[in-house]
Homo-oligomer: A and B are copies of this chain.
Amino acid sequence: MFEHQRHKPPQELARPRELVVVCAPLRSNVNLSRIARAASCCGLQRILCTGHAKLDRRIARDGADTLQIETHRTLPPVLIELRQQGYRLVGLEQTTDSTNLHEYQFERKTALVIGNERTGLTPDLLKHLDDVVEIPVWGMPFSYNVATATTMTLYEYCRQFPKG
């Protein structure tokens, strides 16, 4: 039968994750902190933020310590640099020509770009992206919370690369 196992050892990565999360200025540090906890659990090492990014440690937990949190004034130069470093730039948004996340094959070295809760990914960011993925929605309010959508995307990436 099933017995609860607290503190089960985590999965081993064969190599470090090459997924980074890049956040446009978010309205809510709660959302950012939720993303940080999930990203840390998924074995990510870096989050790149803009604006007044500040983690709530009660929500981000160890993610606040284990992740390298980089804050930038503006994203376009960051995206250009990431591309030069070999990252594929993948936005999370409902756009023309976006790919259903269910059918998207990630590259290992990916920068996942997340938009603001209200404005989403703006044209000055979209124009830098290689791909945009969107998550199917079946019911009201017809849009996922930004941390919820990021969580689903982290899950899909890790499903494709369980060993890193």
Known interface pairs A38-B148, A136-B162; A142-B2 also in contact (CB < 8 Å):
no
Q: Interface residue count for A (Cβ, 8 Å)?
A: 65
A residues 120-150 touching B (CB-CB < 8 Å): 120-123, 126-127, 129, 132, 134-145, 147-148
Contact A143 B41 (CB under 8 A): yes
A82 at the interface (CB under 8 A from B): no
A25 at the interface (CB under 8 A from B): no
CB-CB under 8 A from A43, the residues of chain B are 138-139
Interface residues of A, Cβ cutoff 8 Å to B = 1-8, 10-13, 17, 34, 37-38, 40-44, 59, 61-63, 65-66, 91, 93-98, 102, 120-123, 126-127, 129, 132, 134-145, 147-148, 151-152, 155-156, 158-159, 162, 164
